């Protein structure tokens, strides 16, 4: 049974979500205070989190950022502020999806199911391709072959490997690889990606590819 944590200070909404998720065979827990979330997640390891933004104690965006320091648990933000969506899904906050308020409980269940299903698929795929990345030694290997990567290429590959199929804007990728705020052009990213692809090809990484998304940026794809 998958365990869903609902973080929502409006008790009525939380109760509705709990009822609906439980009716769909999910185990649920509910927290109403933002300050309690990190410790709770550490000790209970939920399978997915529905996270409201406006909360007492600590807001959902800050919580999400903090959670990302120690867990990849799928996080769906509940937001009434449409203008924040880019930021929510961006690297800085790192949520996986969002649902706009007001929502129907049915919609939430559909999205939760879809997210968990997608994750199961990704897990299966990750086990089936031989790319391994060691962040402590900075060594990336495909099967038994070592990829000779620059630090920037390593960071990019690590990111794409963690989130197959997720589309990254060039700006997000730039923010990710240069944290000193230096000014670089989109062409810089294109060059790094081009080199990284070449190196992946050299080791015969056919199951792991990085493709461009027209007008946006890049995503990785794992084929079995």
User: Which is nearer to Ca ion, 7 or 152 (by Cβ)?
Assistant: 7
Note whether 9 binds Ca ion by CB under 5 A: yes
CB of 32 to Ca ion, least distance (A): 9
Q: Which two tokens stand for residue 30?
A: 């509910």
Segment contacting Ca ion by CB under 5 A, of 2-10, 134-142, 174-182, 204-212: 2-10
Spell out the residues 6+ positions from residue 84 whose beta carbon is closer than 8 angstroms to its own: 53, 61
Segment contacting Ca ion by CB under 5 A, of 6-14, 177-185, 189-197, 214-222: 6-14
Site for Ca ion (CB under 5 A): how many residues?
A: 3
CB of 74 to Ca ion, least distance (A): 20
Chain position whose Cβ is nearest to Ca ion: 54
**b/e for 131-143, b at 16 or more Cβ within 10 A?**
bebeeeeeebebe
Note whether 122 binds Ca ion by CB under 5 A: no
The SS3 of residue 93 is coil
Query: Contacts with Ca ion in 41-100 (CB under 5 A)?
Result: 52, 54
Q: Distance from first CA to last CA of the chain, Å, rounded?
A: 27
- Strands 3-7 and 48-52, by their bridges, are parallel
């Amino acid at each position: 049974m998958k365990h869903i944590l609902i973080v929502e200070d409006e008790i009525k909404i939380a109760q509705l979500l709990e009822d609906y998720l439980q009716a769909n065979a999910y185990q649920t827990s509910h927290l109403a205070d933002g300050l309690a979330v990190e410790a709770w997640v550490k000790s209970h390891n939920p399978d997915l989190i529905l996270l409201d933004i406006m909360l007492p104690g600590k807001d959902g965006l800050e919580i999400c950022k903090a959670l990302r320091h120690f867990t990849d648990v799928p996080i769906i933000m509940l937001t009434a502020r449409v203008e924040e969506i880019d930021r929510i899904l961006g690297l800085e906050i790192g949520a996986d999806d969002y649902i706009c308020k007001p929502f129907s409980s049915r919609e939430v269940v559909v999205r939760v199911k879809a997210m968990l299903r997608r994750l199961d698929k990704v897990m299966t795929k990750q086990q089936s391709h031989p790319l391994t990345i060691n962040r402590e030694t900075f060594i990336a290997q495909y099967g038994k072959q070592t990829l000779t990567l620059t630090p920037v290429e390593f960071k990019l590959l690590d990111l794409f490997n963690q989130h197959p199929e997720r589309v990254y804007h060039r700006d997000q990728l730039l923010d990710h690889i240069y944290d000193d705020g230096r000014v670089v052009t989109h062409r810089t990213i294109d060059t790094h990606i081009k080199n990284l692809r070449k190196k992946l090809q050299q080791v015969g990484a056919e199951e792991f590819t990085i493709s461009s998304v027209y007008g946006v940026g890049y995503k990785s794809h794992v084929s079995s």
